[in-house]
Amino acid sequence: MKKISLLILIVTGIISCNTNNEKADGYGNFEATEITVSSEANGKIEFLNLEEGDLIAFQKQVGLVDTLQLYLSKQQLISSKTTVSSKSMNVLSQKNVLIAQLKTTEIEKNRIHNMFSENAATKRQVDEIDGKVKVIEEQIKSVGTQNAPIISDLKSIDVQIQKIDDQLQKCKIINPIQGTVLTKYAEAGEITAFGKPLYKIANISEMSLRVFVSEKQLPQIKIGQEVSIKIDGLNEMKSYKGTISWIASQAEFTPKIIQTKEERVNLVYAVKVKVKNDGSLKIGMPAEMWIK
């Protein structure tokens, strides 16, 4: 009986040793694309409706920088445009009067020319009416040149209004991606400036595990291949399904934070594995990749 018990202990020990000696095919840390959202305007933050941990939708307005001065500048430009437009209307009205006079004069010109052909009008009358038509035509050209700089001023004001509209739009704080707020750097009521960070956001619904494999392991993996990802759990390791999304084309030295000192001189290849996040995976968390 003692021999049987001893045999069982030996076999159990061998199995345990084999299990403990199993090694993962790759080690690494989870990462995600983090975006720091900065202010595109200067001024007081009117509101910033977000907190760390909030899930924010794509293109949602989450804040606003004070727009009062820009609004007043726009109203001033609109008023100037109205004044300049009235000048242009006066010029155009003068031009319309001259065009009407030209039509009447041309009718008179045709009548006198017909009379001259029938010897009912003199050459002097013909010359006078021809000269009158030319004078009116020159007056129309002159009025047209007077309106040109006014039109140019109107275009310039329109461009300035467009610039202010763009600045007003940039006062709105628009969320660039759907994701979770990682860090909040500012609060409503604070004064911000162009380029000053407001918050950091990342889409952590799908995490990327960056691991390193040796040259001998490369033939065993390919892009699109499913692998097993494991993280430390309370009593046992928790497993996830992962898909290889990228394999480095060039080798690099093994990061010393992952391998032992003796293995740091070895060249390895970086691999990225996409993993669906159930809420347990965090940026920077260590994990293992198992190919089998």
Q: What is the pLDDT of residues 187-227, one digit of tens each?
A: 999 999 999 999 999 999 999 999 998 888 889 999 999 99
φ/ψ of residue 193, rounded to 5: -140, 165
The top-level CATH class assigned to 35-66+172-200 is mainly beta
Give the least confident one: 43-57, 105-119, 134-148, 247-261.
Answer: 247-261
Average pLDDT score over residue span 175-192 = 97
Name the 3-class secondary structure at 38: strand
Q: The tokens 């934070």 sit on which residue?
A: 257
Share of the chain above pLDDT 90, in %: 55
The top-level CATH class assigned to 68-170 is mainly alpha
pLDDT tens track for 257-270: 554 545 555 788 99
> How many whole angstroms separate alpha carbon 240 and alpha carbon 169?
43
Other Cβ atoms less than 10 A from the Cβ of 237: the count is 14
Average pLDDT score over residue span 22-40 = 92
Please state the domain extents for the chain.
24-33+203-290, 35-66+172-200, 68-170
Q: Measured over all CA atoms, what is the biggest interatomic distance in the chain, rounded to whole angstroms?
A: 152
Q: Which of the following CATH numbers is that of domain 24-33+203-290: 2.40.30.170, 3.30.70.20, 3.20.20.60, 2.60.40.3080? A: 2.40.30.170
Write out the H or E segment, with its range, that includes residue 161.
helix 123-170
